[in-house]
Amino acid sequence: YQSRKFKYGSVATVFTVSFVAIVVIFNIIFSALANKYMWYIDMTTEQVFTLSDEAKDIMSDIKNEVNIYFASEPDVLMTTGSSAAFTRYIYTTALQLEEAFDNINVECVNVLKHPSFFRDFYTTAATDIDTDSVVIESNGEVRVLAAESFFTFNDTTDLNSVWAYSGEKKMISGIMQVTQADTPKVVFTTEH
């Protein structure tokens, strides 16, 4: 224990183990904070997960109040499970819209805990609001979108064959649909 080799070798080992432990602890803390506060940087060359300038131009023309409701809680939307991989991107896009525009409001309401909240959003008997649904509403106009509709698939029967994320396009398209100034209506009269 008194040899010079053992003393300096053990000090180097302690420093190495301490340094690795500090790096691991820092990584865990930073990852938790990044997940909670969404500290993400879009490093794709096409900026796929960031609002485009075209989207911002289109959205700047929309003055109506728009509500975007997610049928799950934020922590469920941001997890990394199989179906949550879809909702994470969609939720991030909606939050970017909310941050960029004052007339966009994003809210998460768990459809399993509060099914009556979504009662007014059932537009037809075929409307189905699940935990991965996104509801876009403005002035009584409603669009209910499934999470899968924000993606393009190689094979529509296999949800694991995602080919592209087209969430920005789908989200803005839904917003434009509910904020149209003149919504066309068709009335049929019978026995006249």
- pLDDT mean values, one per 10 residues, the chain (192 residues): 70 89 95 72 66 86 93 81 70 90 94 89 77 90 88 74 81 90 76 78
Residue type (1 letter), 181: A
Q: What amino acid is encoded at 126 in this protein? A: A
Tens-place pLDDT, residues 45-86: 766 667 788 888 989 988 899 999 999 988 888 775 555 567
Q: Give the pLDDT score at 173.
A: 92
Taking the model in full, what pTM does it have?
Answer: 0.69
Structure confidence at residue 134 (pLDDT): 93
Q: Which residues, including other chains, have CB under 8 Å from residue 93's CB and lie 6 or more apart?
A: 49, 51, 167, 168, 171
The confidence score (pLDDT) of residue 24 equals 97
Query: From CA 175, how far away is CA 123, in angstroms rounded?
Result: 16
Two tokens at 139? 């002035």
Distance CA 106, CA 97 (A): 9
What is the torsional sign of CA 60, 63, 65, 71? negative
**b/e per residue 129-149 (b: at least 16 CB within 10 A):** bebbbbbbbbeeebbbbebeb
pLDDT reported for residue 106: 95
d(CA 87, CA 79): 9
Backbone angles phi, psi at 67, to 5 degrees: -110, 130
